[in-house]
Amino acid sequence: MINVIDGGVTAPKGFKAAGVACGLKNNGKKDLAVVCSDDIAVATGVFTTNLVKGHSLQLTMNHIKKGYAQSIVINSGNANACIGGQGNKDALEIAELTAQLLQCNAENVLVGSTGVIGIPLDMSKIRSGIKTSIANLSAEGGHEACEAIMTTDLVPKEIAVEIEIQGKKIRIGGMAKGSGMIHPNMATMIGVITTDANISHNLLDKALKEVVGYTFNRVSVDGDTSVCDMVLILANGKAGNEGISEEDMEYRNFKSALEHVCTYLARMIAKDGEGATKLIEVKADGAATPDDAYKVVSAVAKSPLVKTAIFGEDANWGRIITAAGYSGADFDPTLVDIYIGDLMVCQNGCALKFDEDKAKEILKEKEVTILINLKKGNYSDRIWTCDFSYDYVKINGSYRS
């Protein structure tokens, strides 16, 4: 039984956070977040597979290796990437200054930066931001931290849930930013998850990696990622449960709750895609292999032609079968059924006379499901994306300016 409760990363016991505007963003909005646990927490993360890696992200990958952390500092407005040696120094200074103020070890501080690539961080602003944030840390600060990691996001994305494990109420809170990644490869997302559960590092790591695989890595696609992407989780054990150390029912319950958090945040990211007017869920059924199912949903969800058609509320299923056809998946085109919502629009690879008014009605909704049934095997996959509108071009045509 998973209860959704108010709040985000500070909903679990023993976590404080703050978010401040230190001047990295020109518009005066919050741009620096600190999240910290009262004590050292078990920690793990999932990081970009991009060959190019931001300097802050590299430091975090290094610090998290030992499996513990206490604090996370994230700035928005400016990525710390492709700067050379100065970028590494800046990331380290952020960790050291935070550690000094929190009286912890710099190795227990994780750092994230997101925004424009190739411009050095303005460290005088960052320093003052860290000081103000830490002075303002509070158990009610989750929402402000969530606002401070936003870039082109229109809405803050946070959630908290509560479940009972080993006779104790444990909580998981999360926040994420995602600039939309209309194109999957551009998933410039950062996610921070906190929990007061007592859980072994091995199982926390396993649960996070599995859950991210079918939530955050199924937003628009691919697992291809930007140079600053990361999802971090801290578990501080303050809930007082005995400890999750085996893959038993308690572990599965924890993982379900984590999945709930990540699914919610992942869907929020797709829904808040740059310029998006609709959330699109693309499903494949009946694939011969898991890889075929993935290839189909991935190609359909990436296709700008499919996404512009959905924006135009046009049931142009020809573009859907075309994308499936070039996806590289193996299937028989003459077996394929396609549904938009619950309306079948293509049967056995052929046009169907369907009710265009009903299709229009389905496409007018804020959430649209596309199902491609390959009728060839037993594997499925699904992915979340969004439609493609004028505003995507507007937002991305002048991002640096």
Provide the annotated binding site for substrate.
151, 177, 188, 274, 396, 401
Residue 343: strand, helix, or coil: strand
Count of chain residues binding a second copy (CB under 8 A): 65
CA dihedral sign, ordered 55, 61, 63, 69:
positive
* 117 binding a second copy? (CB under 8 A): yes
Smallest gap from residue 280 Cβ to a second copy (A): 14
* 364 binding a second copy? (CB under 8 A): no
Smallest gap from residue 354 Cβ to a second copy (A): 10
- Find the part of the chain contacting a second copy (CB under 8 A) among 46-54, 137-145, 212-220, 264-272: 46-54
Smallest gap from residue 164 Cβ to a second copy (A): 41
| Member of 217, 236, 253, 303 binding a second copy (CB under 8 A) | 303
| Member of 92, 159, 287, 346 binding a second copy (CB under 8 A) | 346
Smallest gap from residue 291 Cβ to a second copy (A): 15
Please state, in angstroms and rounded to a whole number, the distance separating the CA atoms of residues 254 and 257: 5
DSSP annotation string for 227-295 = TT-EEEEEE--TT----B-SSSHHHHHHHHHHHHHHHHHHHHHHHT-TT---EEEEEEEEESSHHHHHH
Q: Which residues, including other chains, have CB under 8 Å from residue 27's CB and lie 6 or more apart?
A: none
Positions in 224-243 near a second copy (CB under 8 A)? 224-227
* 57 binding a second copy? (CB under 8 A): no
Please state, in angstroms and rounded to a whole number, the distance separating the CA atoms of residues 135 and 331: 59
* 282 binding a second copy? (CB under 8 A): no
Question: Tokens 């039984």 sit at which residue?
Answer: 1
Residue number with CB closer to a second copy (103 or 401): 401
Residue number with CB closer to a second copy (88 or 105): 88
* 361 binding a second copy? (CB under 8 A): no
Q: Please tell me what DSSP assigns to residue 196.
A: -
Nearest Cα neighbor of 155 from 180, 137, 191 is 180
* 326 binding a second copy? (CB under 8 A): yes
Please state, in angstroms and rounded to a whole number, the distance separating the CA atoms of residues 243 and 10: 21
Residue number with CB closer to a second copy (99 or 335): 335
* 88 binding a second copy? (CB under 8 A): no
Residue 101: strand, helix, or coil: helix
Smallest gap from residue 178 Cβ to a second copy (A): 14
C-alpha angle 54-276-157 in degrees, rounded to nearest 5 = 60
In the annotation, is 132 catalytic? no
Extract the tokens encoding 140.
Answer: 């009610």
- To which H or E segment does residue 318 belong? helix 317-326
* 290 binding a second copy? (CB under 8 A): no
Ramachandran assignment for 367, one of left (phi > 0), alpha (psi -120 to 50 degrees), beta (any other): beta
| Member of 318, 375, 377, 379 binding a second copy (CB under 8 A) | 318
* 213 binding a second copy? (CB under 8 A): no
Extract the tokens encoding 141.
Answer: 């600060």
Our measurement of the distance from residue 64's CA atom to the centroid of its chain's CA atoms, rounded to an integer in Å, reads 19
* 301 binding a second copy? (CB under 8 A): no
The one catalytic residue in 98, 188, 195, 215 is 188
Residue 135: strand, helix, or coil: helix
DSSP annotation string for 346-387 = EETTEE----HHHHHHHHHSSEEEEEEE--SSSEEEEEEEE-
Binding mask 176-195 for a second copy (x = CB under 8 A): ------xx-xx---------
| Member of 324, 368, 372, 383 binding a second copy (CB under 8 A) | 324
Smallest gap from residue 254 Cβ to a second copy (A): 32
Q: CB 66: neighbour CB atoms within 10 A?
A: 11
Extract the tokens encoding 89.
Answer: 């120094």
Terminal alpha carbon distance of the chain = 48
* 96 binding a second copy? (CB under 8 A): no
Please state, in angstroms and rounded to a whole number, the distance separating the CA atoms of residues 232 and 149: 14
| Member of 166, 200, 322, 380 binding a second copy (CB under 8 A) | 322
* 46 binding a second copy? (CB under 8 A): no
* 139 binding a second copy? (CB under 8 A): no
Phi and psi torsions of 81, nearest 5°: -145, 145
Which residues form the interface with a second copy (CB under 8 A)? 49-53, 79, 81-84, 116-120, 182-183, 185-186, 224-227, 299, 302-305, 308-309, 311-312, 314-319, 321-326, 329-331, 333, 346, 348-351, 388-390, 392-394, 396-401
Give the residue numbers annotated as catalytic, written as ranges: 188
